[in-house]
Structure 1
Amino acid sequence: MKVASLPCLPGISLLFLLGAGRVAYAESEPSYDSTFVRQAHRRAVFQFDQRFSILNGKVVGINGLKGGIEWRGRWRAGIGVYRLSGGVPTRIEQPLGTPAGTRDEVRFRYLAAYGEYVFIGNQRWELSTPLQLGVGSYYTKYYFPDGGVRRTNREVLFMLEPSVAAHYRIFRWIGVGAGGGYRQALAAGKEPKDDMSGVIFFGRVKLFLGDLIKVARGHERLFTQQGLEPVR
């Protein structure tokens, strides 16, 4: 009796080769890695940095504007200026002889140097760790019932603000972001009786000036998504 040959072997071999081909293609296909932001050149960045904090039990806004340089898509450094958007009612006792009904507020402003490291992200979004070191001044302002105003002498104040931030690019040249951290205030001289340290949280509008200039020079569409595709 003759044993029939195995006609299915060619088919099995073909399936095996197709499967091996798929595996080889999958292994050769570059995978997307979000741990790197590939930007070899330097570029200028500007931010409208609106911060919020809780001082004396009240949520207050701190208006800021900062600008700097980004290089290798990883590091940023620059300077910014910040000021309290409005006065915060103090918790300290008013000086003796102050008329009844007097309102008092503490105010401050400061100049900050910042550094920022991007540890994960791509062309569209990123997560970073900013650190700010600031120096400024604070004072108390008194509003008397008769309409008079008096301000105390300014005292030097130092700020240390570590935080975590994220942003998302709407278009190539502009994005929005948010984050949170902590502000530690240190006085150079007389300690403020009002605690100016506390949790901070913020929103940002980021203008990528270098990309905006490139879009303008290249006569590209302003509201394009070009350049925001993941790098593979």
Structure 2
Amino acid sequence: MEITSTLRLPVLLLPPLLAALPVWATEPSAAPAYDSTFVRQSHRRAVFQFDQRFSILNGKVVGINGLKGGIEWRGRWRAGLGFYRLSGGVPTRIPLPEGMPAGTRDDVRFRYMVAYGEYVFIGNPRWEVSAPLQLGVGSYYTKFYLPNNSVQRSSSRVLYILEPSVAAHYRIFRWVGVGAGTGYRQIAFTGKRPDDQLSGIIFSGRVKLFLGDFIKVVRGHERLFSQQGLMPAK
């Protein structure tokens, strides 16, 4: 009798004990929700992008072509170098130099190198929103198109660039995506400040090549145009 009653006591107490346990202790664990805080990567990887920017200079919308490459840490930090150049000339506000014949057309051009840093503050494997900051140095000059079809140019002058912005991108496939952003370009000059307005709001469009992921896809003989790695875990 003692043995029987000793074995039955835990069985009789089991329902009350189970009822007292929290729900997570009695139910099978659910799959973790899809976290869109940021993209978690435990390693470094190379990033590379074509960066097409637009800006309003001297009242004209112009394009600025750029090429950037760098390293990404843990999916949140990026840093690297880039090069940008004005895709076409911008009509200047500077009076023609003495000696230039009537009918001469002139425009200003510039190019610059940048060091950039970028922080991703929200995103997932498919999309992200980040805050890039670029610091650069470059040069600008003026081209003169004379009525006799000859071309002259002024001497180059140094300029310094600060570009804070906000950007977002969306991956079409694992190794390539498209993006856009907006920000402000602040330019400082050495010597006398020119009459041309080169600072202003910028708008950007970009095609991003995720070089590290592209190499993995090729080496792993994976499908090039698949959605693998971009869909939420079930």
Tell me if both proteins adopt one fold, taking TM over 0.5 as the criterion.
Answer: yes
Aligned to 1:204: 206
Question: Quick one: percent identity of the two aligned structures?
Answer: 74
Aligned to 1:129: 131
Aligned to 1:30: 32
Deviation for aligned residue 1:230: 2.8
1:149 aligned to which of 148, 151, 172: 151
Work out the CA distance in 1 between the residues paired with 2:27 and 2:63.
Answer: 54
Deviation for aligned residue 1:149: 1.4
Within-5 A mapping of 1:82-231: 82-230=84-232
Deviation for aligned residue 1:94: 1.2
Unaligned runs of 5+ in 2: 1-18
Change (3 A) 1:23 1:94: farther
Deviation for aligned residue 1:25: 5.2
Unaligned runs of 5+ in 1: 1-16
Deviation for aligned residue 1:188: 2.2
Deviation digits for residues 46-67 of structure 1 (CA, Å, limit 9, x no counterpart): 0000000000110000010010
Work out the CA distance in 2 between the residues paired with 1:119 and 1:24.
Answer: 36
Work out the CA distance in 2 between the residues paired with 1:198 and 1:24.
Answer: 60
Letter in 1 for 2:212: G
Deviation for aligned residue 1:178: 0.4
The 8 Å contact of residues 110 and 134 in structure 1, kept in 2 or not, is answered as yes
1:59 lines up with 2:61 in the alignment:
yes
Letter in 1 for 2:118: E
The 8 Å contact of residues 123 and 231 in structure 1, kept in 2 or not, is answered as no
How many equivalent pairs are there? 215
Deviation for aligned residue 1:113: 0.5
Work out the CA distance in 1 between the residues paired with 2:71 and 2:24.
Answer: 45
Work out the CA distance in 2 between the residues paired with 1:224 and 1:66.
Answer: 26
Deviation digits for residues 80-133 of structure 1 (CA, Å, limit 9, x no counterpart): 000000100001211233211110000000000000000000000000000000
Aligned to 2:9: none
Poorly superposed stretches of 4+, deviation over 4 Å: 20-29
- Which segment drifts farther, 22-31 or 51-60? 22-31
Q: What is the root-mean-square deviation in Å for CA atoms of aligned residues?
A: 2.1
Query: Normalization by structure 1: what TM-score?
Result: 0.87
Deviation for aligned residue 1:229: 1.9
